[in-house]
Amino acid sequence: IIDKSIDLIGENKDSTIIDSGGTGDVIYVSADLVNISEFTIQNCGSKWFDGGIELISNNSNIFNNKIILNNYAGIRMWKSSNNTIYANNFEQNSFVSVWLLGGCLNNEINDNEIINNNIGIKLENGSNNNIIKQNNISNNSALYSLQSTTYHVQHALQVHNNISNHSVLYSNFTIMCSMHTSCN
């Protein structure tokens, strides 16, 4: 549990492992201005509210981590704004790699490897004006954004994302592709 502004830095993301043993969140962040880097974060619980990182925070950075192996959600963000999620590896998360819900605003998700998960990125319930760019998003079952009757999700899935090999793309994203981008 991180409830104050800190920098949490592992020695090496391949050998510094935080494992919750299949129960609850691996890391729960409720403070603003938190930086987390250089960890493998794995084995959170299997309920919809469990995450490798549960982020209820503003102005925080999650970077250069391996968020893999049996997390329900790699990063689950709730009412969190102005955060940056970059240079992380998301693999084998059973529900979703990055999940923004409950009014997550102005976050940036960039330069991540999001491969072999159920859902690559899920944005919903008033999570608006988030920037998603320069990610390799492939071999997930789906990549999507939801719209509800109460909230409207507005995003631009920006140039230079490599988006490929999804069985389904549900979206009200504006998808802009460049010549170097596969938008299958």
Q: Which pLDDT belongs to residue 140?
A: 80
Nearest alpha-carbon partner for 144 in 102, 101, 111, 90: 101
Indicate whether 30 pLDDT > 90. yes
Indicate whether 113 pLDDT > 70. yes
Indicate whether 131 pLDDT > 50. yes
Indicate whether 115 pLDDT > 70. yes
Indicate whether 159 pLDDT > 60. no
Q: Which pLDDT belongs to residue 178?
A: 39
What is the average per-residue pLDDT within 17-21? 96
pTM listed for this prediction: 0.83
Instruction: Give the DSSP letter of residue 117.
Output: -
Q: Which pLDDT tens digit goes with each residue over 66-108?
A: 988 789 999 999 999 999 999 999 999 999 999 999 889 999 9
Q: Which pLDDT belongs to residue 164?
A: 63
Q: Which pLDDT belongs to residue 152?
A: 38
Buried b (16+ CB within 10 A) or exposed e, 6-36: eeeebeebeeebbebeeeebbbbbeebebeb
The lowest-confidence range among 52-66, 78-92, 119-133 is: 119-133
Buried b (16+ CB within 10 A) or exposed e, 75-112: bbbbbbbebbbbbbbbbbbebbbbbbbeebbebbbbbb
Of the two residues 109 and 124, the one the predictor is more confident about is 109
